[in-house]
Structure 1
Amino acid sequence: MLTKYHLGERWLGFPRSYRWAAVADRLQSASGVLLGLFLLLHLHFESSILLGKAAFYRVAQVLEGGLFTPSGHGVPLITQLFSLVMLLVLMVHAATALRRFPVQLGQWRALRNHLHLIKHNDSKLWFWQMLTGFLMFFLVPMHLVTMLTNPEIGPHLSAARVYHDNYWLLYGLLLPAVVVHAMLGLYRVAVKWGISFQRHGLLLLAKILMGYLIILGACSLVAYLVIGHSLTLPVTPFTP
């Protein structure tokens, strides 16, 4: 004989737990899209160094609000405030994404078996996104904290940071990790929320963007290294 038992919704955590899961999913996707779009803009702004020191200087001044100051020079405080906002968005994204991170040995074994047996392409993409997200958990805060504590931007100052302060090590690791994570994330968000059902086309676009952005970022990094190598300490800020 089957006996029915009624368990209160408050005791089960339902529907509150499901409501939180839905909110967390939306926060994770929204914050991820915001960070991904910011990355696209950021790498292109940084690549203005490839057009020369004067071009990068003008871009930096505009981004720091130089159009609204009498002298035309930017305000480093804007860089600090924007970096703080991005750090908060990153914290929201990390907090909501860590819910799906395997933390127990049994979960890792189940994931390994799933990847070997099912061989589902999107599951492999999620695995790579998880690994790059783990690296970013350490690398991205280091970059943002640097922008908070040392917000001065310019062809000479940025190049000196990359070359003389050895930040090329950080950026060399961060660039492929953040590009792969962001492009795969945008692809998965588009599929998850039904923005497009053309998985093959979206994945091809994501791979093209990965290659393009990594090459663009690497060229910018090399340009900073070349400029930094030519500088002598103490560094004099660039003026056109």
Structure 2
Amino acid sequence: MKVNSLQYQHTHYAALGSPWSAKADRIQSATGILLGCFLLAHLHFESSILFGKETFYHVVQFLEGGMFSSTGHGMPIVTKVFSIFIMLVVMLHAAVALRRFPAQLGQWRALRNHMQGIKHKDSHAWFWQLVTGFILFFLAPVHIFTMITNPEIGPHLSAERVYHANAWLLYALLLPAVVVHAMIGLYRVAVKWGLIRHRKGLRKAIKVLIIYLMTLGILSLISYIMIGRSLVLPITPFVP
């Protein structure tokens, strides 16, 4: 049985027109903002490797609560606990977001026909958020689970994970998906809740931000690969 665009929209929005849907929208927006802000901070903290091993080392010690330690060294348990928290937020965000995901082939066809008929930039942005969200459903938990089970971070330890454990393959796929998904998500939240009305200017800002974050992430990844190539197994943790 074929499902046309009108049928899909009617069924889709009828299912969403409930008090739970309004609450789920708020949860999705709140968790999306939290994860988007976390991504912005995470990519910048990771990029401290571009300023050298010692800079990255001190950033890690600071984030892991080194100032509260008698030795001045950070505590990996902080990374573990925070990673568990982020995993729970991701699970909650995915749970409420999945209700909007086209579940049947006919719905995907209806969405494609709708996009071909109506050349609307926000509709295309939503489509790419769906695609990247699908990719992240598989990739993000792998990365977060790795940080839960192996929370040790440092110039040498992180480079070992990236190069010798071939995690660069995961990050090469994860980086564009998470950046595009998060930035489009922040744009849609700003528009949805009336935080900004100048969509054209905001879209330009989001495109610039995507390019900037992608560049930052790629340069950081290359730095870890170069450091990893110079290391000899077994790895000795970096200490300045």
TM-score (norm 2): 0.93
For residues 190 and 145 of structure 1, what CA distance do their matches in structure 2 show?
A: 30
For residues 105 and 217 of structure 1, what CA distance do their matches in structure 2 show?
A: 34
User: Once the two structures are superposed, what CA deviation does each residue of 1:52-84 show, in whole Å capped at 9, x if it has no partner?
Assistant: 000000000000000100000011100000000
Query: Which secondary structure state, in structure 1, belongs to the residue aligned with residue 102 of structure 2?
Result: coil
For residues 86 and 114 of structure 2, what CA distance do their matches in structure 1 show?
A: 34
Matches within 5 A, 1:34-113: 34-113=34-113
Matches within 5 A, 1:8-23: 18-23=18-23
Cα displacement (A) at 1:106: 1.9
Q: Which residue of 2 aligns with 1:143?
A: 143
Cα displacement (A) at 1:205: 0.6
Cα displacement (A) at 1:30: 0.4
Cα displacement (A) at 1:105: 2.0
Q: Which residue of 1 aligns with 2:163?
A: 163
Larger Rg: 1
Cα displacement (A) at 1:110: 1.1
Tell me, which stretches of 5 or more residues in structure 1 are unaligned?
Answer: 1-13
Q: Which residue of 2 aligns with 1:127?
A: 127
Q: Which contiguous aligned blocks of 4+ residues in structure 1 show a shift greater than 3 angstroms?
A: none
For residues 209 and 117 of structure 1, what CA distance do their matches in structure 2 show?
A: 29
For residues 112 and 177 of structure 2, what CA distance do their matches in structure 1 show?
A: 21
Matched, 1:154 2:154: yes
For residues 50 and 35 of structure 1, what CA distance do their matches in structure 2 show?
A: 24
For residues 234 and 17 of structure 2, what CA distance do their matches in structure 1 show?
A: 56
For residues 149 and 109 of structure 1, what CA distance do their matches in structure 2 show?
A: 40
The alignment-based identity, stated in percent, is 65
For residues 217 and 153 of structure 1, what CA distance do their matches in structure 2 show?
A: 17
For residues 187 and 198 of structure 1, what CA distance do their matches in structure 2 show?
A: 11
Q: Which residue of 1 aligns with 2:237?
A: 237
User: Once the two structures are superposed, what CA deviation does each residue of 1:189-234 show, in whole Å capped at 9, x if it has no partner?
Assistant: 0000000011001111100000000000000000000000000000
Q: Paired residues, what number?
A: 226
Q: Which residue of 1 aligns with 2:9?
A: none
For residues 27 and 174 of structure 1, what CA distance do their matches in structure 2 show?
A: 24
What letter matches 1:235 in structure 2?
I
For residues 18 and 127 of structure 2, what CA distance do their matches in structure 1 show?
A: 24
Query: Which secondary structure state, in structure 2, belongs to the residue aligned with residue 229 of structure 1?
Result: helix
TM-score (norm 1): 0.93
Query: Which secondary structure state, in structure 1, belongs to the residue aligned with residue 18 of structure 2?
Result: helix
Query: Which secondary structure state, in structure 2, belongs to the residue aligned with residue 71 of structure 1?
Result: coil
Matches within 5 A, 1:181-196: 181-196=181-196
